[in-house]
Chains A and B, each alone.
Chain A
């Protein structure tokens, strides 16, 4: 056997060449710089094309007006609001579920057999779900939220479009045109109610609580000439219709092609990412902190709430906000839910039909007229700004919360 001294002298006779090692270091340095430059270059080209095309179309009226067949008068207000609504709802739904799951997986390691099995099952599934393409989630959302597998439907007559079995925050009216410009609205129970057919001599109650006998004038019949008679006359069969008035808390089951269905679908898309990044955040909390809390007699819940969760917040928020910015940009699952439709009003509640920026961009970019391509570039600029805001929030939160830990 060689002595240590021999081994060392042998090794000393064949040194690695210092210049070669330095050259490798320099080469490595350059490779890193070039790869970094490449990504910046791609981003630069993208920004240049988008800005050069779209910047001139960016204006206040572009932000605040609705889509229009004429590209010069079209705007993104409904899409912008749709994006806000879906992302806000998606965030509110995702964070508690995601953080709760991460706490279950990381902090509350169960000791009993069945729960341990469930624990590893959930863990395995989440890892797999993170790789599923978002279109697939769109299909799932379509079946699960929009139509609820057809389980929640009520058999109604063909004429009535609304199939909700449960509904709050909405009222229905039958609407008739009166002779003057005023409108007569007759409240009905629900969308299934029989149509109100005004007969001659029906009694309505005016605002003072006085009953008034209505006079019904058929289509094509002459209008009464006396002012008094005219005031209580309605036209029969003149574009009447069922009107739907929704309160801000309007809610119905199944969800239909609504903001809520879209948010839930986006939740499915980003939930695995949120869970995994939250888990990572909990894992990076030093175990000594956990032991300190438990060692003082904290219950597992107190330890999580007072110690590990605050320490994990920066990591959780960074991960979640990055996931949210992915949700802002998603088009495929939203397209499954809302369809490419012409929507001219911003959503007013969770049950509203909606569109989002990315879908609006997709819609405009696919048209033939060059004017639409330009406004689609302008919409891209807005979307990029939105993402920039999201990421800045992530950075601010990380800075703010991680200070006391260091």
Chain B
């Protein structure tokens, strides 16, 4: 716990010392966020954070995911794309066991979480402590879902759950998270006003701030921009680019441009199967599978 806090404080310092990177998004908007060629190089050498081996998932008798083999690289953005109902959310929700809340959900195979010391943990095991798992694997949902509390209490919710934290440090942590999520300027004067009074885009960024305030290692985002306007979307994409320096990010999206702009690895799902997975550049320029090609070029169905 203490270690995490000191880590967080270090990252806070770095965040405060370079505040310009998130606020000035206009210049970076015109260029691709990620230098794809460079990324493809690093991706191969990157250690994995999450590994799926022969992973299957069911809801009752319905098999939602079939024999998934996928590696999610550390400190990179992985985008999951595919038509509606193909099982992207299901995959995401298994990584932090959110599917425990669905009584009929089952899974088999291996879902390994690899930490920086290269020790592996099978997330699917019954004995896994979901509370500390979810501390390490944060999730942002499709619809913004702030608690009916103040902006401050929303962000402080996670830290208060997990740490005995002094009020002064809590203030710093909240500010750090809100800055990271690029909403600090918009909410700094209304920290103690109800979070539900914010606009949808601000709420979504607040939810991201809430998720990163507990210092997760992996951040799962399920269509984080689907309810947002282009300006907020751009802000969140900048944010994703910014965050992947510290966190491993998995993002589900229906927006091809978004996937190509901010991810370094892309997986294409169809009917519960992982059809193709490779570097974003390869998936969008030289897909090997016909279905992938049709989908990314918009010829699909």
Contacts and interface: CB of A to CB of B under 8 A. Distances in A.
Interface of A: 109, 111, 286, 288-299, 302, 306-307, 310-311, 404-406
- Specify the main secondary structure of chain B where it touches its partner: helix
Interface in B188-241: 194, 196, 207, 210-211, 214
Nearest to A298: B161
Contacts, number: 68
B161 A288 contact: no
A350 B212 CA distance: 53
Contact of A297 (B103, B135, B146): B135
Contacts of A288: 141, 143, 145
What are the 6 tightest A-B residue pairs by CB atom distance, in nearest-first order?
A297-B134, A288-B145, A297-B135, A295-B139, A296-B158, A405-B148
Given A299-B131, A306-B157, A294 B98 contact: yes
Contacts of B96: 295
Contact of B149 (A290, A295, A404): A404
Contacts of B157: 293, 296, 306
Interface in B285-299: none
A286 B161 contact: no
A269 to B, nearest CB: 33
A397 B210 CA distance: 29
Contacts of A299: 131
28 contacts: A109-B103, A286-B145, A288-B141, A288-B145, A289-B147, A289-B148, A291-B101, A291-B145, A292-B141, A292-B146, A293-B147, A294-B101, A295-B98, A295-B134, A295-B138, A295-B139, A295-B141, A296-B210, A296-B214, A297-B131, A297-B134, A297-B135, A297-B161, A297-B214, A306-B161, A404-B148, A404-B196, A405-B196
Contact of B147 (A109, A111, A292, A302): A292
Given A109-B103, A296-B211, A297-B135, A291 B141 contact: yes
Contacts of B103: 109, 111
B143 A296 contact: no
A292 B96 CA distance: 12
A127 B139 CA distance: 37
- Specify the main secondary structure of chain A where it touches its partner: helix
Contacts of B143: 288
B132 interface: yes
B161 A302 contact: yes
Interface residues of B, number: 29
Nearest to A405: B148
B162 interface: yes
A404 B194 contact: yes
A109 B148 CA distance: 24
A302 B194 CA distance: 21
Given A109-B103, A291-B101, A404-B196, A297 B141 contact: no
Nearest to A311: B148
Contacts of A302: 161
Contacts of B131: 297-299
A73 to B, nearest CB: 55
A291 B146 CA distance: 11
Nearest to B211: A296
B208 to A, nearest CB: 12
Contacts of A294: 98, 101, 134
A266 to B, nearest CB: 33
A372 B219 CA distance: 75
A289 to B, nearest CB: 6
Given A294-B101, A307-B147, 10 more contacts: A111-B103, A291-B145, A293-B147, A295-B96, A296-B158, A298-B131, A302-B161, A306-B147, A306-B157, A404-B149
A294 B161 CA distance: 11
A15 to B, nearest CB: 38
A297 B145 contact: no
Contacts of B148: 289, 310-311, 404-405
A406 B145 CA distance: 13
Contact of B145 (A289, A306, A404, A405): A289
B139 A297 contact: no
Contacts of B161: 296-298, 302, 306
A292 B134 contact: no
- Among A111, A295, A298, residue most surrounded by chain B Cβ atoms (within 10 Å): A295
Nearest to A299: B131
A376 B294 CA distance: 84
Contacts of B138: 295-296
Contacts of A291: 98, 101, 141, 145
B101 A290 contact: yes
Interface in B123-175: 130-135, 138-139, 141, 143, 145-149, 157-158, 161-162
A114 to B, nearest CB: 16
Nearest to B131: A297
B145 A292 contact: yes
A367 to B, nearest CB: 55
A168 B4 CA distance: 54
Contacts of A297: 130-135, 158, 161-162, 214
Nearest to A110: B103
A220 to B, nearest CB: 80
A310 B139 CA distance: 23
Contacts of B130: 297
B95 to A, nearest CB: 11
A307 B145 CA distance: 12
B135 A292 contact: no
A68 to B, nearest CB: 54
B98 to A, nearest CB: 6
A288 B203 CA distance: 14
A179 B157 CA distance: 74
Interface string B84-105: 0000000000001010010100
A291 to B, nearest CB: 7
